[in-house]
Homo-oligomer: A and B are copies of this chain.
């Protein structure tokens, strides 16, 4: 039985968080499938993508235990998803497109950024560090995914606003904390702000300035 109560109480973003973890795990799974990794590769890359960012944040902030160690049921969920996906993809050649994944991924971006920033703020670090921890939480799972499958991280090279939006959303959380808003509310607003910005970026095709050819 999954017990999410602890996490729920900590930052009050249960639903967002869960959507984000699933979205990130699936993005790892899709990448693993694209690279024809085996079952072990699928599980590892999914796990890295879903929990790598938060784990790196916790190592840097010296927080223990990690989320996935405290809530070890998630590891089973991950293994289950990968087994199902492996069977499913083999028999039906079904590959949900990366296109479709962008929407739940935006939810994950918002939840992880806002939650990570708040956790760092609770640890009394300077504002800029808290924001960077929020960004790391949101993007480093994907960065590790890309490094493991031997590609230059998309977050660093595709000129689509992603980390920059997380960076902005982190400052919203910091700002609301300075205004002495309840952390629960600050995280919720920060997450919604980030998600909205990301959805706008996707719908309107925003781009970061690119290099001249």
Contacts and interface: CB of A to CB of B under 8 A. Distances in A.
A37 B86 contact: no
Given A72-B128, A75-B128, A38 B90 contact: no
20 contacts: A33-B211, A36-B211, A38-B157, A38-B208, A38-B210, A39-B164, A39-B209, A40-B155, A40-B163, A40-B208, A44-B156, A62-B64, A68-B129, A69-B126, A72-B126, A90-B211, A143-B148, A147-B150, A149-B152, A150-B150
A129 B37 CA distance: 23
A39 to B, nearest CB: 6
A153 B149 CA distance: 8
Contacts of A128: 72, 75-76
Contacts of A39: 164, 208-209
